[in-house]
Amino acid sequence: MAAREIYEEIGSTQDRALELARSGAPAGTVVRAIRQTRGRGRLDHRWESPPGGLWLSVVVPATGARETWLSLAVGARLLRALQGWGPIPLRLKWPNDLVAIGTDGRARKLSGVLIDRVGSPSLGIAAVAGIGVNVRVDAADLPPELRERVVSLHTLVPSPPTPDEVEPRVVAAALDAARDLGSLPTAQEVIAQCRASLFGVGRAARVDGTSRGTISGLDDDGALLLADGPNLVPIRSGDVHVDGLA
């Protein structure tokens, strides 16, 4: 039976969930925190995790798909789930963020996904999806440099949910994404959703601080395609900044 652990404060839900996955925890096991002190994102970026957000990690079955597709698929399913609270203008920023488009046309980060894989006695290979959603985060609790770059769900919908209400939808999104990538018809559907939701198509992008081209789409491996003159350059790693991102 899947377990659910909740902590008032923990270093990282991802680290604890990886421990549980290594020990054979089943799919659906959840670790959640009210506050993280060492929350981490992709490329070892720090993830600020003050009270008011939903910070959790969930164990899911690993799929044969590339890790990039799993993070994108979780984001796509999460996008659909969050829009259940209202017609929020959300887009999927490669490879693992949800951004909301403001009335000023700028995109601000609402949620992020981190995927780690680990050997599991029960699942063979398990994936742990670390997911953070700014549900009711007070901007004053964030570092000054982040306050204009992120957005919280409570500012986007007329009747904002609580983190407790968001949790089951987030967990379902992660489990659904892993399940859907494991079957060809549903994998095609979720990949099509990723492509349709991609943020920045037609916009200039920089990778690791260097101008690389204009976003064209996603290739079959989930890499970001940048048009550089007549060439399409696949980006499989790196820190991508897109024009129009706050």
Mean pLDDT (the chain) is 92
Mark whether 119 and 104 lie in a shared domain: yes
Share of the chain above pLDDT 90, in %: 76
Q: For residue 228, how many other CB atoms are within 10 A of its CB?
A: 12
Q: Examine the domain organization and report whether 107 and 227 are in the same domain.
A: no
Q: Which pLDDT belongs to residue 47?
A: 65
Residues 238, 156 share a domain? no
Same domain, 133 and 168: yes
Which pLDDT tens digit goes with each residue over 50-108?
889 999 999 999 877 677 899 999 999 999 999 999 999 999 999 999 999 998 989 99
What pLDDT shows up at residue 45?
60
Domain that holds residue 166: 4-197
Domain shared by 157 and 226, yes or no: no
What's the confidence (pLDDT) of residue 246?
81
212 and 147 in a common domain: no
- Asked if pLDDT for residue 42 goes beyond 80, the answer is no
Query: 35 and 155 share a domain?
Result: yes
What pLDDT score does 40 carry? 66
Q: In terms of domains, do 148 and 231 share one?
A: no
| Cα–Cα distance, 60 to 175 (Å, whole number) | 6
Q: In this structure, what token pair is assigned to residue 3?
A: 């377990």
Q: pLDDT tens digit string along 13-34?
A: 999 999 999 999 999 999 999 9
**More confident position, 211 or 230:** 230
DSSP 87: -
Alpha carbons 213 and 115: distance in angstroms, whole number: 27
Q: How many CB atoms lie within 10 A of CB 11?
A: 14
Cα 9 to Cα 13: distance, rounded to the nearest angstrom = 9
Reference 228, options 205, 204, 212, 208; nearest CA is 212
Number of domains in the chain: 2
Q: Supply the pLDDT for residue 65.
A: 65
Q: How far is CA 15 from CA 10, 44, 120, 223, in A?
A: 10, 13, 15, 26
**Is the confidence at residue 43, as pLDDT, over 60?**
no
237 shares a domain with 136: no
| 154/47: higher pLDDT | 154
Predicted confidence (pLDDT) per residue in 231-241, tens digit: 999 999 888 99
Q: What is the CATH number of the domain that holds 165?
A: 3.30.930.10
Can you give the length of the chain in residues?
246
My answer on whether 144 and 221 are in the same domain is no
pLDDT-based confidence at residue 37 (cuts at 50, 70, 90): confident
- Tell me the whole-structure pTM to 2 decimals: 0.93
Q: Are residues 142 and 179 in the same domain?
A: yes
- Same domain (yes/no): 135, 229: no
